[in-house]
Chains A and B, each alone.
Chain A
Amino acid sequence: MTPTLRSTDAEALARGASAGVDAMPADQPMHIRLQLIHEPIRLEDRLAVWRSEGLQGALVEFTGVVRGEEDGRRIVALEYEAYERMALKVMRAALHQLGQHHPCSAVEVIHRLGIVPVGEAAIWVGVASRHRQEALALLTGFMEALKRDVPVWKRRALSAGSVGNPAR
């Protein structure tokens, strides 16, 4: 696969670009935005984006940050890869299904690919709903689906000295 700089769910972006997050009637479909990116996740921007869209009610965020240890050894980074088209499709399907049981107004997922240094975010998930219970449940269900079905892999753990030249 030739890595692309950024995979997005175009349909979701087109639908979800400007709607007020909690202004939708309860029977409106949940806005879903998905991105697979090859650069750092700008965490500081996410809340501003959601605020600009009229966020009200509950926003539950999850940030997965790379730890400095993998399988008992010290590392400096993890390298992620994905089957990008399928990952977007599986994430969307899982969120649709979860949304049937836990109605939320919007969800955004950003997963970083390539080399992610220790201390930096590999994934950010934001879920908005009128009340916290639905958002928390949807977030938990999504993370379980991610760990089970979404074709993204920690390709290798990099130790000091190997970041610039990861073995292929």
Chain B
Amino acid sequence: MRVLFFAHLKDVTGCEEIVWSEVGPLTGAQIWQRLARQWPAMDALRPATRLARNCEFVEVEALFQPEDEVALIPPVSGG
């Protein structure tokens, strides 16, 4: 499972993406738990951050398959 970080989330993680190679299906909530274990500062950013699965916004209850691309989308500011 590939997890992408953008904007200030990259500053928190120190990377643009991570890959979880041996993982089964995970809910969005489980993904957040794993991220918070690795980077405790992520927890505070969770309320304002949306999840995307394969380029589509999904709710935290959504199920992610190992081959899915997960993206954490902080508040956007284009234009």
Interaction A to B: yes
Which of B18-26, B30-38, B50-58 lies at the interface? B50-58
Q: Does A41 contact B (CB under 8 A)?
A: no
A127-140 Cβ-contact flags toward B at 8 Å (1 or 0): 00000000000000
Q: How many A-B residue pairs have CB under 8 A?
A: 62
A1-44 Cβ-contact flags toward B at 8 Å (1 or 0): 10000000000000000000000000000000000000000000
Q: Does A101 contact B (CB under 8 A)?
A: no
Which of A50-58, A78-86, A158-166 lies at the interface? A78-86
Q: Does B76 contact A (CB under 8 A)?
A: yes
Report the Cα distance A131→B1, complex, angstroms: 48
Count chain B residues whose beta carbon lies closer than 8 angstroms to a beta carbon of A. 16
Give the distance to chain A from B32, nearest Cβ to Cβ, in Å. Answer: 18
Q: From residue 71 to 120 of chain A, which have CB atoms closer than 8 A to chain B? A: 80-83, 85-87, 89-90, 111
* Chain A residue contacts of B56, Cβ below 8 A: 86, 89
Give the distance to chain B from A115, nearest Cβ to Cβ, in Å. Answer: 15
Q: Which residue of B lies closest to A142 (CB)?
A: B79
Q: For the complex, would chain A's binding face be called helix, strand, loop or mixed by DSSP majority?
A: mixed
User: Is the beta-carbon distance between B79 and A83 smaller than 8 angstroms?
Assistant: no
A residues adjacent to B (C-beta < 8 A): 1, 64, 80-83, 85-87, 89-90, 111, 122-123, 143, 146-155
Can you report 8 A-B residue pairs in the complex whose CB atoms are below 8 A from each other? A111-B78, A123-B78, A123-B79, A147-B76, A148-B76, A151-B52, A152-B77, A154-B78
B residues adjacent to A (C-beta < 8 A): 4, 6-7, 16-17, 52, 55-57, 71, 73-74, 76-79
